C-alpha cells in the first residue's frame, strides 16, 4: 500500500502542468497549440518568452525533486518508484488527456532528488551534449540515458532500474525527434526558421 501511495503522490505532483499554467497566466495562450504541442520548457520557449520558458524548466525540475524527496521522507524505500511516478505524471497527466511533456526537466529533478551526484552527472551530460550539438532533444536524450549509469556508478544502484524505465519513456516520447535527427532536419537552438 505504501508503494501505491508513493507512486500516486509522485504522479500527482509530476502531473502539474507548469508550462500550460504559466503561459496562460502570462497571456500567451495555450502552449499546446504551438510547436510540438507539448507543455515542456522547450515548447514554451517557442512562445518567444524566455522568462516563462526558464520558469517552466525550473518548476518542472523542482516538482521531480520534490516528489522524490517527499517520498524519501515518508516512505523511504520507495524513492525509485516516486522518481518513475513523477516522470509518468509529467508525460501523461490525467487532466490533459495523458498528453504532457517529454520529461527531460522532470528527469533532471528526480536525479537531484535521488542524490546531488546523480543530478550533477545528469546536468553535465545534458548541458554538455546541448552545448556541443545545439540540439535540445539530443541533449535531453543523452542525459536520460546517462542517468541510470550515473546512479549505478555513484552509489545509488537501487534506483537504477527505475531510471532505465524513465529513460525508455523519454526516448519513446522523442521518437519523432529521433527520426528528424536521422534525416538531418532536427532544428538547432538559435537556428533561423
pLDDT in tens, 143-165: 999 999 999 999 999 999 999 99
What is the three-class DSSP state of 55? helix
Reading the block at residue 102, the C-alpha cell is 517529454
**Which region, left, alpha or beta, applies to residue 7 given φ > 0 means left and ψ of -120 to 50 means alpha?**
alpha
Q: Please give the model's pTM, rounded to 2 decimal places.
A: 0.93
List the one residue out of 64, 84, 49, 68 whose CA is nearest residue 167. 84
Give the model's confidence band at 42: pLDDT under 50 very low, under 70 low, under 90 confident, else very high.
confident
Nearest to 102 by CA among 36, 189, 147: 36
Q: Is the distance from CB of 170 to CB of 144 less than 8 angstroms?
A: yes
CB atoms within 10 A of CB 96: 14
SS3 label, residue 126: helix
Cα gap 182→68, rounded to integer Å:
35
Mean pLDDT of 98-126: 96
**Torsion from C-alpha of 14, 108, 20, 53, nearest 10 degrees:** 160
Q: Are 147 and 111 in contact (CB under 8 A)?
A: yes
Q: What is the mean pLDDT of residues 132-147?
A: 95
Amino acid at each position: 500500500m505504501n508503494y501505491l501511495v508513493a507512486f500516486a503522490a509522485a504522479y500527482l505532483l509530476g502531473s502539474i502542468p507548469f508550462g500550460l499554467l504559466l503561459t496562460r497566466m502570462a497571456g500567451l495562450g495555450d502552449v499546446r497549440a504551438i510547436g510540438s504541442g507539448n507543455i515542456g520548457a522547450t515548447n514554451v520557449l517557442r512562445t518567444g518568452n524566455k522568462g516563462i520558458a526558464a520558469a517552466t524548466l525550473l518548476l518542472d525540475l523542482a516538482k521531480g525533486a520534490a516528489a522524490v524527496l517527499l517520498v524519501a521522507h515518508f516512505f523511504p524505500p520507495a524513492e525509485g518508484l516516486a522518481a518513475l511516478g513523477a516522470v509518468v505524471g509529467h508525460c501523461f497527466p490525467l487532466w490533459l488527456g495523458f498528453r504532457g511533456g517529454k520529461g527531460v526537466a522532470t528527469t533532471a529533478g528526480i536525479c537531484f532528488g535521488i542524490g546531488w551526484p546523480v543530478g550533477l552527472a545528469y546536468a553535465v551530460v545534458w548541458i554538455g551534449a546541448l552545448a556541443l550539438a545545439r540540439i535540445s532533444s539530443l541533449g535531453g536524450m543523452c542525459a536520460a540515458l546517462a542517468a541510470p549509469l550515473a546512479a549505478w556508478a555513484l552509489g545509488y544502484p537501487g534506483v537504477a532500474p527505475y531510471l532505465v524505465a524513465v529513460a525508455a519513456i523519454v526516448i519513446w516520447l522523442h521518437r519523432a525527434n529521433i527520426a528528424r535527427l536521422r534525416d538531418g532536419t532536427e532544428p538547432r537552438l538559435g537556428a533561423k526558421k
